[in-house]
């Protein structure tokens, strides 16, 4: 396989501009996120934002900037399956939190993209944790339709928005029932009605605009936002936990056959893993949700992810719920726990390759990011060098590259640490520069 890479490498190097920026990451343990493949003492060559070589015994191109990864690990950048990066600074401070809109008259039409700030403090923090791309989702606060999410790069530059209006977030289960008036039947009726209204809008927007659709519940903009969902042009990310609710969601395709579904949560998914796999529906979840903290999560287990993957379900790791929506840097710890779960008596976990893929390749595939998530020739060069095994708690990135550009390894926290770390005892903190 490495020799085959050599042929592709020669062609790519021969056809690349001499002025292109070239990096050679050498001597590391290269985990490609393709199967269980690990290349000891491997080399990754990056040129002009793309990976042009991966393997062992590859010559370093003349003029390349060499990054010595000896004794270190090299992986693809983490792709956070769901987060609030860029739209939330402090969850409890309303002025910094654009995740939900409790007083808005709109629901499905709400688009998080205009609120994303590349200067948001958590972005640099997560980038230092090896996160290079993130799926950004809103919170449903008053309606089952939470709004339109986006996909971003975590590069230290303006223009990090990769894909606006990338999916529609839909809240079902217990929370969806409350939004719809107090019961699951009401929530399912709202969902089916919303999709039906979107279909009517798509057939005759003028009738919707003029008010001739008198029984419409949705506003015109909300109905328009659901059109690409029912037509299958963007996925519906549906938050649901209980096994029976999962089955109901899978059944939506009988009425709306073009619907592309991504399950979010699915803590009881292992109970119906065969049905999820048969429907070819992917899941975004966290492996450490094991407490029966709600009636819809009584069957929670840390073996959920392992059992889903064993059944053939695509599972990506996501950060959602509570006040941890911007802590995607913790995904390696969750992934490591899926590996450890295999050692627990009666537990079902992931292999190391599966765990790495769950926070890189699989999540990228779920959202159609086909040129991200692995260290392969031709892929975009999101590359992270770790000082140790990335699935171990004590490991941390020492170098992060996004689209072949080395990123600054600083955040607000590191700047504050460095500013005050060496002050003499009794010295008052220095005033910030104006």
Q: Are 70 and 88 part of one and the same domain?
A: no
Tell me, what CATH number does 139's domain have?
3.20.20.140
CB distance 132 to 359 below 8 Å:
no
The whole-angstrom separation of Cα 44 and Cα 67 is 10
Q: Are 209 and 134 part of one and the same domain?
A: yes
User: In this structure, is residue 380 part of a structural domain?
Assistant: no
Q: What pLDDT sits at residue 54?
A: 97
Q: Are 127 and 8 part of one and the same domain?
A: no
| 139-152 burial: b if 16+ Cβ within 10 Å, else e | bbbbbbbbbbbbbb
User: In this structure, is residue 366 part of a structural domain?
Assistant: yes
Considering only CA atoms, which of 216, 184, 210 is closest in space to residue 197?
A: 216
Residue 347 confidence class, pLDDT cut points 50, 70, 90: very high
Q: What pLDDT sits at residue 434?
A: 47
The whole-angstrom separation of Cα 24 and Cα 43 is 7
Q: Are 19 and 119 part of one and the same domain?
A: no
Q: Are 103 and 24 part of one and the same domain?
A: no
In the chain, the percentage of residues whose pLDDT exceeds 90 is 79
β-strand partners of 259: none
19-41 pLDDT per residue, tens: 468 999 999 999 999 988 799 99
Instruction: Return the DSSP state at 80.
Output: E
**Quick count: other Cβ atoms within 10 Å of Cβ 306?**
25
User: In this structure, is residue 377 part of a structural domain?
Assistant: no
Q: Are 123 and 160 part of one and the same domain?
A: yes
| Rounded average pLDDT over 406-427 | 87
Task: Tell me what the pLDDT averaged over the chain comes to.
Answer: 91
CB distance 147 to 109 below 8 Å:
yes
Q: What pLDDT sits at residue 147?
A: 97
Considering only CA atoms, which of 311, 292, 313 is closest in space to residue 301?
A: 292
In 326-412, which ranges are E strands?
A: 383-386, 397-402, 405-406
Q: Are 174 and 145 part of one and the same domain?
A: yes
pTM to 2 decimals?
A: 0.91
Q: Under 8 Å CB-to-CB from 153, ≥6 apart: which residues?
A: 132, 133, 160, 162, 402, 403
133-180 pLDDT per residue, tens: 999 999 999 999 999 999 999 999 999 999 999 999 999 999 999 999
Residue indicated by tokens 């959920």:
304
User: In this structure, is residue 430 part of a structural domain?
Assistant: no
Considering only CA atoms, which of 198, 200, 254 is closest in space to residue 223?
A: 198
User: In this structure, is residue 30 part of a structural domain?
Assistant: yes
CB distance 359 to 331 below 8 Å:
yes
Q: Are 147 and 252 part of one and the same domain?
A: yes
The whole-angstrom separation of Cα 379 and Cα 274 is 32
Q: Is the pLDDT of residue 101 over 70?
A: yes
Residue indicated by tokens 């000082």:
387
Q: What pLDDT sits at residue 2?
A: 38
Q: What pLDDT sits at residue 9?
A: 38
User: In this structure, is residue 431 part of a structural domain?
Assistant: no
Q: What angle do CA 362, 25, 351 make, to 5 degrees?
A: 35
Q: Are 39 and 122 part of one and the same domain?
A: no
Q: Who has greater pLDDT, 416 or 66?
A: 66
Q: Are 123 and 163 part of one and the same domain?
A: yes
237-287 pLDDT per residue, tens: 999 999 999 999 999 999 999 999 999 999 999 999 999 999 999 999 998
DSSP letter for each residue of 168-197: EEEE-HHHHHHHTTSSHHHHHHHHHHHHHH
Considering only CA atoms, which of 184, 354, 349 is closest in space to residue 270?
A: 349
User: In this structure, is residue 25 part of a structural domain?
Assistant: yes
Q: Are 302 and 314 part of one and the same domain?
A: yes
Q: Are 178 and 269 part of one and the same domain?
A: yes
Tell me, what CATH number does 402's domain have?
2.30.40.10
CB distance 108 to 168 below 8 Å:
yes
What are all long-range contacts of 38-44, with beta carbons under 8 Å and residues at least 24 apart?
38/353, 39/2, 42/74, 44/74, 44/375, 44/383
Structural domain for 8, as ranges = 2-76+392-409
Q: What pLDDT sits at residue 213?
A: 54
**What count of Cα atoms within 13 Å lies in the side-chain half-sphere of residue 404?**
21
Q: What pLDDT sits at residue 7?
A: 35
User: In this structure, is residue 420 part of a structural domain?
Assistant: no
Structural domain tally of the chain?
A: 2
């Amino acid at each position: 396989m490495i020799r085959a890479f050599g042929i592709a490498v020669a062609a790519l190097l021969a056809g690349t501009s001499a002025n292109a920026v070239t990096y050679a990451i050498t001597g590391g343990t290269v985990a490609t996120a393709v199967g269980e493949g690990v290349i000891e003492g491997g080399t990754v060559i990056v040129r002009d934002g793309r990976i042009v070589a991966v393997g062992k015994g590859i010559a370093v191109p003349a003029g390349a900037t060499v990054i010595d990864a000896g004794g270190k690990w090299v992986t693809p950048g983490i792709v956070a399956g769901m987060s609030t990066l860029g739209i939330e600074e402090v969850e409890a401070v309303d002025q910094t939190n654009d995740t939900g809109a409790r007083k808005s008259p709109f629901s499905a039409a709400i688009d998080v993209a205009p609120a994303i700030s590349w200067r948001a403090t958590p972005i640099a923090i997560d980038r230092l944790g090896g996160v290079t791309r993130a799926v950004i989702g809103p919170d449903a606060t008053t309606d089952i339709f939470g709004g339109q999410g986006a996909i971003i790069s975590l590069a230290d530059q303006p223009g990090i928005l990769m894909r606006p209006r990338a999916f529609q977030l839909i809240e079902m289960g217990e929370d969806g029932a409350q939004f719809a008036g107090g019961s699951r039947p009401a929530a399912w009726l709202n969902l089916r009605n919303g999709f039906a209204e979107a279909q009517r809008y798509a057939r005759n927007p003028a009738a919707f605009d003029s008010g001739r659709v008198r029984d419409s519940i949705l506003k015109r903009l909300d109905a328009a936002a659901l059109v690409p969902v029912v037509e299958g042009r963007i996925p519906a990310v549906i938050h649901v936990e209980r096994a029976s609710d999962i089955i109901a969601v899978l059944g939506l395709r009988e009425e709306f056959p073009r619907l592309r579904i991504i399950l979010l949560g699915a803590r009881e998914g292992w109970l119906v893993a065969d049905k999820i796999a048969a429907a070819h529906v992917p899941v975004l979840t966290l492996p450490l949700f094991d407490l029966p903290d709600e009636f819809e999560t009584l069957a929670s287990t840390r073996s959920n992810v392992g059992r889903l993957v064993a059944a053939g379900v695509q599972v990506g790791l996501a950060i959602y719920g509570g006040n941890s929506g911007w802590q995607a840097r913790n995904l390696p710890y969750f992934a490591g726990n899926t590996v450890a779960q295999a050692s627990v008596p009666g537990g079902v976990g992931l292999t190391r390759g599966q765990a790495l893929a769950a926070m890189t390749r699989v999540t990228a595939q779920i959202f159609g990011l086909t040129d991200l998530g692995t260290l392969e020739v031709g892929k975009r060069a999101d590359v992270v060098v770790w000082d140790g095994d990335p699935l171990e708690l004590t490991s941390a990135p020492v170098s992060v590259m996004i689209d072949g550009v080395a990123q600054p390894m600083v955040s607000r926290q590191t700047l504050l640490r460095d500013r005050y770390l060496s002050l003499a005892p009794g010295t008052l903190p220095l005033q910030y520069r104006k």
